Amino acid sequence: MGSDVFEITVNVIKMLAIFLLMVQLVPILVWVERRGSAFIQNRFGPNRVGPLGLTQLLADAVKFLFKEEFVPPKSHALLYYAAPVLALVPGAIAFGGIPLSMPIDIQPFQMFGSEWGPYTFKFQSYDLDIGILFILAISSLGAYALLLAGWGSNNKYSLFGALRASAQMISYELAMGLSLVGMLMLYQTLNFSNMIELQKGPLHFMFFGKEILIPFLPNWGIFYQPLGFLLFATAAFAETNRLPFDLPEAEGELVAGYHTEYGGLKMLLFYIGEYGHMMVASAVMVTFYFGGYELPFSLSDSLTSAVRGAFSSVNLGNVMAALVMHVVMLLKILFFLWVFIWVRWTLPRFRYDQLMDLGWKTMLPWSLANVLATAYLILMAGSAV
């Protein structure tokens, strides 16, 4: 946590801020989803409450808070109440492990008559060496929320939704993990910060002893592993139960799937959990394949030095530079969140057997082939990145 009071305080505030960032993005995303879907389907969407319908969210929140508290009879009360909370937890924990901006170096300074510092604050809740592995592990616990909701509410539609969800999550976890293996072999690290460090500069790699440099492309993972990115993005859609893979809550067949019996604030928690998973997936995509918080080429260096130059204090300049890079990271994450929403209103839902076929017979072989081809190329053509 830290060595003295100041460091511990800052770290605790940082953790809370990252959690609140995740939770506070949800209303905005709900608004984007509703207005965006209306835009795609050539209708208006919520536009009455406030400018552009932005305060519709407040009205919705009030509505959610004052709904009648309802527990279905013969349900398992503990599991029924535990499930929405559990839906929130994995996304919240996993989101804290991803670096959202560059580390902030703080020089020694005077405060309250004593000497403090120097410190280095990382722009993430925790930094583990096994970064991506831990995040995959925590995200895999998300299945329990759906299972408990399905079992606890004692409703056959809920149970069907839960069964579908768990089978789907187990199936796509394999392809999801394997699609990242190729990138991990290139980076030779599991830590997010090291990956972002490796993606700086223009595209350059060793190919059969020759050094190849392509100055007009950034050194991003997407150019090394386009197939891996495609597979990971598809698996991420399935893991977050978004269309075209939202079989667990297919409203045409299952009423509302696992959250049929949930209303009010409890359903809101499920929504926050789902959007949290989407944010984690987007952040992992950005970090693995799109350079994390860095801008392409040396733009980020010149930008941060310009920001640092604008402030007289070194510490304040460092904080501001990190915040600017944080905005870059957020914009990248928001772009992928928009892709999630965009796809939802573009593609129709799969049938369940098509979903399983895609997972086991298409994505798993392709991701295995991707791993083998990457390993072969690394061995024969020399290490890349």
Partner 1 sequence: MAEIVLFYFLAAATVAAAVGVVMHENPLLCALHLVLSMLGVAGLFFLLQAPFVGAVQIMVYAGAVMVLFVLVLMLIDTNKDDEKFSGGNISALTKGLSVGVLSGLLTSIILRTPQSLQRSVTYEAYEVIDIAKLLFTKYVLAFELLGVLLLVIPVGVVALSRIRGGTHDR
Binding residues for partner 1 (CB under 8 A): 79, 128-130, 133-134, 136-138, 140-141, 143-144, 147-148, 150-151, 159, 162-163, 166-167, 169-170, 173, 188, 190
List the structure tokens of 378. Answer: 């690394």
- Nearer residue to partner 1 within complex by CB, 46 or 161: 161
- Nearer residue to partner 1 within complex by CB, 130 or 369: 130
Instruction: Compute the least distance from the CB of residue 309 to partner 1, in Å.
Output: 38
- Nearer residue to partner 1 within complex by CB, 149 or 324: 149
**What residue type is 226 in one-letter code?**
P
3-state SS, residue 96? coil
Instruction: Compute the least distance from the CB of residue 140 to partner 1, in Å.
Output: 3
Pair 335, 32: CB distance under 8 Å: no
Backbone angles phi, psi at 114, to 5 degrees: -135, 165
- The answer for residues whose C-beta is within 8 angstroms of residue 337's C-beta and 6 or more apart is 29, 32, 278, 279, 282
Instruction: Compute the least distance from the CB of residue 175 to partner 1, in Å.
Output: 14
Instruction: Compute the least distance from the CB of residue 159 to partner 1, in Å.
Output: 6
List the structure tokens of 41. Answer: 């389907």
Residue with token string 């560059």: 102
Instruction: Compute the least distance from the CB of residue 77 to partner 1, in Å.
Output: 13
Number of residues that make up the chain: 385
- Nearer residue to partner 1 within complex by CB, 30 or 93: 93
3-state SS, residue 207? strand
- Nearer residue to partner 1 within complex by CB, 148 or 284: 148
Instruction: Compute the least distance from the CB of residue 97 to partner 1, in Å.
Output: 11
Instruction: Compute the least distance from the CB of residue 16 to partner 1, in Å.
Output: 20
Distance between CA 268 and CA 60 in Å, rounded? 10
- Nearer residue to partner 1 within complex by CB, 150 or 228: 150
Q: Terminus-to-terminus CA distance in the chain, angstroms?
A: 33
DSSP string, 172-183: HHHHHHHHHHHH
Residue 182's closest CA among 227, 233, 128, 236?
Answer: 227
- Nearer residue to partner 1 within complex by CB, 163 or 320: 163
- The answer for residues whose C-beta is within 8 angstroms of residue 130's C-beta and 6 or more apart is 190, 191
- Nearer residue to partner 1 within complex by CB, 63 or 361: 361
- Nearer residue to partner 1 within complex by CB, 171 or 318: 171
Backbone angles phi, psi at 201, to 5 degrees: 80, 180
List the structure tokens of 200. Answer: 């700086």
Instruction: Compute the least distance from the CB of residue 141 to partner 1, in Å.
Output: 6
Pair 285, 40: CB distance under 8 Å: no
**What residue type is 249 in one-letter code?**
E
Eight-class DSSP state of 359: I
Instruction: Compute the least distance from the CB of residue 134 to partner 1, in Å.
Output: 5
